[in-house]
Chain A
Amino acid sequence: MPTTRRQFLNLAGGVTVAGTIPIVTLRPLHATPAMLNNAIRNVVGEAQIRTGRVKLDIPPLVENGNTVPMTVSVASPMTADEYVKSIHVFNEKNPQPNIGNFYLTPSSGRAQISTRIRLADTQKVVAIARLSDDTLRQVAADVVVTLAACTEEMN
């Protein structure tokens, strides 16, 4: 029986899929959402994380993932009784899920930090604030990256 076009394509497709699986499992080049969750739990613990009060300013579309400006601010009076202890920033798909941990004090006056980060892919960025009563607040933002950072070859 002659091989039909449909059979041939099915076969070729199967080979391609089978061929790519070992490559994917051998090189977990990017963090996965599970790694993101693990990293968050390693840093902030198991407490419940609620949304609100945290603001993440990051461009929704960046051309160059090598340097992406980012500002995290938290609505807090920053008094000795009620302040932000720390701000933690994570990503979903860089080779490593951590971006930075920033530790504040009541005398910070304003709970806001800025830095420049690298993003290896179009992905989600998560900012979490630990308040003085040890409750956690988070916010997430999606960023589309057209030129990735981190994993390109060196010249």
Chain B
Amino acid sequence: MAALINVPAKAKRGDVIEIRALTSHIMETGFRHTADGKLVPRDIITSFTCRYNGTEIFRADLFPAIAANPYLSFFTVAKESGKFEFEWIGDNGYSSTASASITVE
């Protein structure tokens, strides 16, 4: 699945940086019906995690009230050069990952 990650390529040590992550997912609520009355089963992302050089820096539990193609923005302190890893986990065994690098001076 396609993910859109926005992390600054460069930062000064100690800067607070914004990280934005968007992934494509229907986020089917499980509360909708088809025109002939059948309930559409729930299919959502339930968990998002961001790790910075292996350490978890942000985690979120998501519910059906999160809009389709879930977008999350959060902050972290730029401590060292390295890699951000993003992981989305959801219903029906859904799992997807993405990563981004940063150079800290």
Contact = CB atoms under 8 A, between A and B. Distances in A.
Interface of A: 29, 66-68, 71, 91, 94-96, 98-105, 107-119, 149-155
A71 B72 CA distance: 10
Contacts of A95: 29, 31, 64
For the complex of A and B, the 6 pairs showing the least CB-CB separation, nearest first, are A109-B16, A114-B73, A116-B67, A110-B75, A101-B61, A109-B77
A100 B64 contact: no
A72 to B, nearest CB: 10
A117 B64 CA distance: 9
A127 to B, nearest CB: 13
A103 B50 CA distance: 11
A118 B64 contact: yes
A108 B67 contact: no
5 contacts: A100-B66, A109-B76, A110-B16, A151-B31, A151-B32
A117 B62 CA distance: 10
> What DSSP secondary structure best describes chain B's contact surface?
strand
A116 to B, nearest CB: 4
A153 B32 contact: yes
A104 B19 CA distance: 13
B9 interface: no
A103 B58 contact: yes
A80 B60 CA distance: 21
A150 B32 CA distance: 6
A149 B29 CA distance: 10
Contacts of B74: 102, 104, 108, 112-114
A117 B66 contact: yes
A90 B75 CA distance: 22
B68 interface: yes
